[in-house]
Amino acid sequence: MQREEKQLDSALEAIILRVSDLKSAIAGMLYKLEHEYETLNWPNFLDNFAIISGHLTSLSKILGHDKAPNMRNFTILPLLLSPEKDEDLLRMTEGRISTFAHDLVPDYLRTKPEPMAEQKMNHLELKASNLTFEASQKQVAQYNKVVSHVWDIAYKAREEWEGEAGARAAQVQTSSSADTHTLVAAIGMGKGLKSDSGPMAQSRVSPGPPGIMAGRSGGQAQAAGQGQIGVGQMGKAPSAIKTNIKAASQIHPYGR
């Protein structure tokens, strides 16, 4: 009896240790799914799943070891049932169970699935056992076909998205924000424009052929001596029109 008790205690310690590791792995995976879902990728998810699978394998080896006692031969019985809050129970269960009442014990100490879940599992196992090999291969082929079709759609969508992104990046820029700001400042506030006394005013020329301009500048002195109207006489600006007034006797063909 003492030997069996020692084996049971050592097996329970190993099982509790493996279960604790398994619980930590599951908690870490759930934390990543809830808080790091934006940066979580498929390889990291598979790594976490492999860790959980390794802990389950180790736990199965301990339970199936030759020196480990058969846990199916042992039954857990509650020693005390109370609807009041138990601090020790709350501490041992890490805050998950606060009371050990009559209505909760069947769920906490259950060694078999719930009746509805067990019935559903039995129905699925019976359906799978009655399925022929040809029918199973046909269903697997249909499943692979659907998965391949979904994969093709996702791959084509990815190629189109990458092509559009590359085309947007390769477009030649046809505008300049600096030039736009300069034009707006010049039109709205006159920034960068020069005054009339500068080279802009010197480049202005009067319309008309060059010959007229030369004749006008050269004949100003002669026009002033032949009757050009001054500003002091009429109070008007001097005219650039040349006047040549002759006596009537000089142009009359018949003299008296």
From 159, 186, 217, the end of a domain falls on 159
Least confident of 34-43, 47-56, 91-100, 219-228: 219-228
Q: Do 20 and 69 share a domain, yes or no?
A: yes
- In-domain check, residue 50: yes
Which whole number is the average pLDDT over 87-99?
85
Total domains, the chain: 3
Say if residues 243 and 223 touch (Cβ distance below 8 Å).
Answer: yes
E strand or H helix that includes residue 239: none
- How many Å apart are CA 69 and CA 45, to the nearest integer? 35
- How many Å apart are CA 90 and CA 98, to the nearest integer? 5
- In-domain check, residue 250: no
The model's pTM: 0.43
Structure tokens at 164: 């559009």
**Assign residue 113 a region: left if phi > 0, alpha if psi is -120 to 50, beta otherwise?**
beta
Give the three-state DSSP class for 240: coil
Domain around 84: 77-111
pLDDT in tens, 73-84: 887 788 888 888
254 falls in which pLDDT band (50, 70, 90)? low
